[in-house]
Amino acid sequence: MGIYVNPDHASFKKAVESQIYIDKSGLIPILNGLLGTEQCYVCVSRARRFGKSVTAGMIKAYYSKGCDSRELFHGLEIEKDKSYETYLNQYDVIHVDMAEMWSNVGKNEERFLSTFNKTILEELQKEYSMVDISECSTIAMALSQISHVCKAQFVVIIDEWDTVFREAKQNKKLQDEYISLLRALFKGESSKRFIALAYMTGILPIKKYGIESALNNFDEYTMISPKMLAKYYGFTSDEVQRLCEQYGMEFDKMCEWYDGYSFKNAEHIYNPNSVVKAIRFEAYESYWSHTEAFSSLSGYISLNFEGLRDDIIRMFAGERCRVKVGSFENDFVSYKSKDDVMTALIHLGYLAYDLESKEAYIPNKEVQEAFEYAIEGAKWSEVVNAMDASERLLRSTWQKDVDAVADAMEKVHAEAASVLQYNDENSLSCAITLAYYHAREYYQIMREAPFGKGYADLVFVPKRNKNVPAMIIELKCDKTPEEAIAQIKERNYMDGIQEYRGNMLLVGISYDRKTKKHSCAITEW
């Protein structure tokens, strides 16, 4: 039993014995089905704090010959699977955390690969002393020799595989050498003899050169397309609901703060680290915002690509934006367009992505707050001013002060005119959502909501325990605000809020494209 070769199950034992542990062992039967096949090369990329390392520890604990993990897996989902006994602690395992390895060399880029190679070779020699690997200069050569003599097959787990691309962004020589090492380990003809399963995980998918993955024999499961592995990284809605019941937390608030990532096979995925901390500390806060990755958001949104600023503001206001994700080269330097930047933000977890509609959006309140801080740091004064004035605008609306509402909207338009084009009602809707930014504290805000006999522009439904009136806002260009309110009534948008029984305000806002003037009418329903 070594540190990297045939390791113990200490990390998984720590996870299982934690106050809050969610069983993700249903992943293992999927991996068991890949053992020794052409599909045994798996790369899972997720944002920080989405359970990648915990899962890597679980996989290590299950396969490693260096430990007996039967007790740890007792009662977990995998125990019921027919493959459980067959592969439990039956494989030679190599498990390396590349971020830890990077720290061990003191961020000395030139020593990293040689240290990695030397460390694993030394452990292999100790573990397989009956095999002479003294002449082997690479890990791949040593594993090939061990496999030939001992008939051994290896499960190789590389956690934080993309450390080199994140920490040595500009060192292309090191990156190329690292990829060459991985290709020798996983893609050579001899590797087919000694690799039973290759499992890599990181924030970034595998580096692309042009349109081709550097390790194109790997199947990738990403933040964009996690396929059938979606529910095994992050918490599902059912899992969070059970935790809320167990610990007396409000499920609605958990949704608001940490939900929002949605995939074909898992419609609601929550940030697991934040959910756990919210329960432990009994407080709904931004826990992810304290990470290094979060602090770098201002740098990403300030990159000078045409249309990027516009799209960021639209998403900040609650809209979705189409993103072409195919050109991203899976590093943090090769940006060629706004789509590349936004794709990077998807992989980092700042944005969620709808694979079907090809649209990105800000997933939840925790991330929304990060964008708020980033926008302030980027000195986008027109947005900051709108946010600052939004509380006054909301109160003016409640008070039915139509002149104050019209004046406030005029100021938002004037300040944001350099960013957004105000030639249609969609752009007007974006601006108004920004203007009512503070309303998020009181309302669930729905845009283009299918209510009554049509689609209401903006609907504000009060959150539980918020004693404020519901609001329906209809927007018009070159028409009167009274016409907007008439449309609300004619199409019975009010019927869409059937559960709500309190006061309701019908708000019409109009914009005259010639005069640039705004008008408002408010009726209590």
Per-residue pLDDT reduced to its tens digit, 99-120: 999 998 877 898 999 999 999 9
Question: Residue 213 belongs to what H/E stretch?
Answer: strand 212-213
Comparing CA positions, the residue from 109, 85, 97 lying closest to residue 56 is 97
Within 10 angstroms of residue 245's Cβ, the number of other Cβ atoms is 10
Least confident range from 158-172, 251-265, 365-379: namely: 365-379
Least confident range from 108-122, 215-229, 320-334, 437-451: namely: 437-451
Mean per-residue pLDDT, 400-413? 91
Mean per-residue pLDDT, 267-287? 95
Q: Could you tell me the pTM of the whole model?
A: 0.93
Q: CA angle, corner 209, sides to 208 and 213, nearest 5?
A: 40
How many whole angstroms separate alpha carbon 235 and alpha carbon 237? 7
How many whole angstroms separate alpha carbon 397 and alpha carbon 405? 6
Q: Name residue 237's amino acid.
A: S
Backbone angles phi, psi at 509, to 5 degrees: -125, 130
pLDDT band at 483 (very low <50, low <70, confident <90, very high): very high
Q: Give residue 358's region: left, alpha or beta (phi > 0; psi -120 to 50).
A: left
Fold of domain 10-221? Rossmann fold (3.40.50)
Residues above pLDDT 70, as percent of the chain: 96
Residue spans of the domains in the chain: they are 10-221, 235-375, 380-524
CATH code for the structural domain at 380-524: 3.40.1350
144-181 pLDDT tens trace: 999 999 999 999 999 999 999 999 999 999 999 999 99
Mean per-residue pLDDT, 214-226? 95
Residues forming beta bridges with residue 208, ordered by sequence position:
213
Q: CB under 8 Å, gap of 24 or more: what pairs does 9-14 form? A: 9/57, 9/60, 9/61, 9/64, 9/67, 9/69, 9/72, 11/53, 11/54, 11/57, 11/60, 11/61, 12/54, 12/57, 12/58, 12/60, 12/61, 12/69, 12/72, 13/61, 13/72
Mean pLDDT of the chain: 92
